[in-house]
Amino acid sequence: MDVNIPRLKISHILWICLIGALVIRALYQRWKYRRIYSLLASLPGPVPLPFVGASYIFAGTTRNNICSKFKTFAKNYPGVAGLWEREEPHVVTSSREVFNAVLSSGNVEKTYHYAYFKMATRSMFSAFGAEWRFLRNIVNPSFRTNVLMLFDDSFYHHGEVFVHQLKQHVGGDGFDIFIPVHLCTIDMICDNMIGTRIRAQENPSIRLSTAMLQAAEMIHERVYSLLLWPDFVYSLTGKRKLIDKLLYECQCVPREIVEQRIKERETAGLKRQHSEGPQIYIDSLLDKLDTGDLTKDHIISEVFEMFVAGSITTAITNAWAFKLLALYPDVQERAYQEIKENCVDGEVRLSDLSKLIYTEMIIKETLRHFGAPLTSRYITEDVQVDDKMTIPAGMNVFMCLHELHHDPKYWQRPGEFYPEHFSPANEKSRPKGAFIPFMGGPRVCPGNKYAMRSMKFLIASTLLRYKLSTDEKPPKDLREMDYRLVFMLFPSSGFRVKIQQR
Ligand code: HEM
């Protein structure tokens, strides 16, 4: 009897092999990452699809809605959630306990998302492993107290230029204070970290400020859209070309400065084999050029990073503080009285900054609302959070600082501008790790003391001379405002204020 066996075509065989290979791969993945699968299965989170995971929830992310997308995620999955971004496993959390466990562990690696910062600069912020350790060891001594003291003259000088230049706006119908503040923080950073007075305020380098802001915003959009377009697709959108153009404009300044500084050192015979005594950041870097540990291009990248990270963050915080003081005149009046009582001969002195307790409370409350909303770490060693939870190596942790900083467990009035959150009594009673605008652990922001000192000085010097106001009304809840993401939260409506002479 003839048996009729259907004949398989080559295409059928190929399909069977392909499906078989995918099934074997999926089973192997499940087995290899079984601890990760088991943790993620126990956590709430959006349903993952094959290959794309739950990335679909971030479809359509643009710079205008990036913050609201993350806000919605945090609202839908509060506390600790799981997220598959394609085949990459993530814990997304605002839990103080998880933050503390991760930051106090040996995990110092950042997640793969930071690779996109390398579009701008191949330097410490996005560096991994041994390279990061090497660079961090150069940076840390440049922020010690004995070095920070070298910056006093520069703070006085640039602060005075800033306050003087605001005069042109007195009695006007309002202006956006961001660019003037940013030019001032650029001047301070260049002077203090890179040893060069570029006078960005006197020869207003508005293009430098806007190019830096726009490039930083585009990179954040790409980092956090979580739809990882391959480079060629990104280039097809024309965005890559635009970013390169903006970066070129901003990098001219650090490039020129580094080249000039190298020449100066050579002429003055300052070439040294080892650092001696306190020295500013650029000289610590150039010592490594002399020893052959760093190249000139690498040093330019490092300098560029400091230039951006140090100037944008402090400018945004200062500008927010001015906007908030304009929105809340009672808070402004109390700060003004404190500053007036503690200044001598109508001047704010850096040595008196520690007496400005209320002013510092205002800055901290500003950072609570508008500081960096999100950061992440790649877990290289298991993190034991408590008896019930271990985050296995191989996972990414998205840390939602904005949610932590608004958690009603730690903040009496989460959505309000309420500097009392930082009264000495409230600070004392708050548990460790509930407020970390500069993050923590080995990768804590190295510029934190520099930032607090420069911001306190500039805000106090400004309030002493001018009264700020605005036509805007304070929102019921500051979380309802529209933001864009540029390292920190940047208001879509800008930083418009009016000023009057005191
Ligand atoms: C209000 C001011 C500032 C805020 C809120 C701030 C916040 C932060 C945060 C949250 C991080 C950690 C980022 C992460 O883990 O992904 C960080 C890192 C960093 N910050 Fe700041 N920062 C400020 C000012 C500065 C200043 C003034 C400088 C330099 C002069 C600076 C230089 C850096 C650098 C180089 C890193 C990377 C550190 C590393 O990866 O080891 N920051 N900053």
Residue in 365, 492, 371, 483 with CA at minimum distance from that of residue 416: 365
Using the mean position of ligand 1's atoms as its centre, give its distance from the Cα of residue 438 in Å: 6
Angle at 412 between CA 75 and CA 495, to 5 degrees: 70
Q: Is 136 in the pocket of ligand 1 (CB under 6 A)?
A: yes
Within 8 A by CB and 6+ apart from 11, the residues are none
pLDDT reported for residue 321: 98
> Atom 37 in ligand 1: which residue has the minimum CA distance?
125
Place of tokens 């901290």: 364
Cβ proximity of 253 and 208 under 8 Å: yes
What pairs with residue 344 in β-bridges?
Answer: 347
- For 111, the token pair is 């997640």
- For 48, the token pair is 């993952």
- For 59, the token pair is 């479809």
The amino acid occupying position 253 is V
Using the mean position of ligand 1's atoms as its centre, give its distance from the Cα of residue 470 in Å: 30
> Atom 21 in ligand 1: which residue has the minimum CA distance?
445
Place of tokens 């119908």: 173
Residue in 418, 422, 419, 371 with CA at minimum distance from that of residue 399: 371
Q: Is 437 in the pocket of ligand 1 (CB under 6 A)?
A: yes
CA 303 to CA 290: how far, in whole Å?
16
Q: Phi and psi dihedrals of 93, rounded to 5?
A: -145, 150
CA 82 to CA 91: how far, in whole Å?
5
pLDDT reported for residue 121: 64
Ordered per-residue pLDDT tens for the chain, 502 residues: 566 666 778 888 888 899 999 889 888 888 888 999 999 999 999 999 887 889 888 877 777 788 888 888 988 999 999 999 888 899 999 999 999 999 999 888 888 888 777 766 667 888 888 889 999 999 999 999 889 989 999 999 999 999 999 999 999 999 999 999 999 999 999 999 988 899 999 988 888 999 999 988 888 888 776 555 667 777 888 888 898 899 889 888 889 999 999 998 888 776 554 556 678 899 999 999 989 999 998 999 899 989 899 999 999 999 999 999 999 999 999 999 999 999 888 899 999 999 999 999 999 999 999 999 999 999 999 999 999 999 999 999 999 999 999 999 999 999 999 999 999 999 999 999 999 999 999 999 999 999 999 999 999 999 999 999 999 999 999 998 999 889 999 999 999 999 999 9
Q: Please give the C-alpha separations between residue 362 and each of 19, 36, 94, 429, 489, in angstroms, as whole numbers.
A: 60, 42, 23, 18, 17
Q: Residue ranges for the binding site for heme? A: 445
Give the global pTM: 0.93
Q: Is 371 in the pocket of ligand 1 (CB under 6 A)?
A: yes
pLDDT reported for residue 235: 80
Is 294 strand, coil or helix? coil
Q: Is 313 in the pocket of ligand 1 (CB under 6 A)?
A: yes
H/E segment holding residue 448: helix 448-465
pLDDT reported for residue 228: 54
Q: Residue ranges for the binding site? A: 445
Q: Which long-range contacts (CB under 8 A, 24 or more apart) does 39-42 make?
A: 39/82, 39/91, 39/389, 39/390, 39/391, 39/392, 39/395, 40/82, 40/84, 40/89, 40/91, 41/82
Within 8 A by CB and 6+ apart from 160, the residues are 461
The amino acid occupying position 334 is R
- For 72, the token pair is 């919605």
Cβ proximity of 287 and 139 under 8 Å: no
Q: Is 124 in the pocket of ligand 1 (CB under 6 A)?
A: yes
Q: Is 450 in the pocket of ligand 1 (CB under 6 A)?
A: yes
* Closest ligand 1 atom, residue 281 Cα: 30
